[in-house]
Structure 1
Amino acid sequence: MDTLQRLAIEAECSRLMTTFSLCTDTFDYDRALGLFVPDCTFQRADEVFEGLDGLRFVLNRRNPERITRHIVSNMLIDVEDETTATGQAYALVFGHVGALDEHGEAPLGAPDSLVIFNGGFTRTDEGWRIKTWRIDLSFRRKAA
């Protein structure tokens, strides 16, 4: 594999990580599901969910009143070969439940948490997709 191929794979996998965060922030679950292979695995804390139905379950149980924004950074993608890659990124998570101000904005407070995304990626006929996704909590803001 040449350098351009490797860089293209890194870019596509990084885009998957960012797009998934944007989809969860905007409640665009159909688009989020399209980023994953049908036999995906999604893990958060001690919970493991299998397949798109499991992922749909996780997404649908999110509080629809909670606004979130994920700031994704420090992405590092390791390309194993032409069809397989892994990656890691940090996500700083801001959240708010409650009324917005007259401009439709949520008050800005300290971040709720810092998590680590761990992804496994595979090339399909439709392009690169997420095969495995694990979220590890690094820091959590303590309740006041």
Structure 2
Amino acid sequence: MTEEERRAIEQDCARLVIAYHVYVDNYDHEKVLSLFAEHAVVDHAVVGMIRGKAALAAYFDAKDTSTVAQHVMTNVLIDVIDDDHARGTAYWTAYISPAAALPAPMSGPAALGSYQDTFIRTPAGWKFHTRRVIGRFAASDRGSTTLLKGGAAAVEKVREKLGG
């Protein structure tokens, strides 16, 4: 593999990491799902294992779209394994407000964490193969459970639906 090919893979995978939250924050779940391989697995810090695109769609359908959310991605580091596989790490900071009007009020981040990703080249291009969501910090008055319609009770329903 040439240096140019390696850099192209790094850029394609880093673009997936950034695109994920651009689409999530705009509640464009169809585009979010397009970033994942068909049999992708997400190990979510709140709801547990999510296996396959159908389960991912169910998770995104459960998200509360009445909130304003914005994620800031930093420290995106991609390591190319071979022509068809890569892995990466990225840090995220989530700002969430229950207000639907802009500009939404804020009092600081709702949560901070990181991702551990693996990527696979498919006929449609690079996709997430696995994604591990690691929550490192959460505001005590808001956080990941508020992202689902119905809060903590919704988390339990999503877990049941996903078999966990």
Report SS of the residue matched to 1:65: coil
8 Å contact kept, 2:10–2:79:
yes
Whether 2:121 is the aligned partner of 1:120: answer no
> 1:33-65: CA deviations, max 9, x gaps?
111111110111261011001111111111111
Match of 1:24 in 2: 24
Provide structure 2 residue ranges, at least 5 long, that are not aligned to the other structure.
143-164
CA distance in 2, matches of 1:112, 1:99: 16
Whether 2:62 is the aligned partner of 1:61: answer yes
Task: For 2:115, give the aligned amino acid.
Answer: F
Higher strand fraction (1 or 2) = 1
What RMSD, in angstroms, separates the aligned Cα atoms of the two structures? 1.3
8 Å contact kept, 2:75–2:90:
yes
How many residue pairs align between the two structures? Answer: 141
Higher helix fraction (1 or 2) = 2
> 1:117-142: CA deviations, max 9, x gaps?
11110001111011111110011112
CA distance in 1, matches of 2:84, 2:100: 45
CA distance in 1, matches of 2:127, 2:100: 36
Whether 2:104 is the aligned partner of 1:110: answer no
Report SS of the residue matched to 2:127: strand
Q: Give the TM-score normalised by the residue count of structure 1.
A: 0.93
CA distance in 2, matches of 1:136, 1:14: 18
Offset at residue 99 of structure 1 (A): 4.7
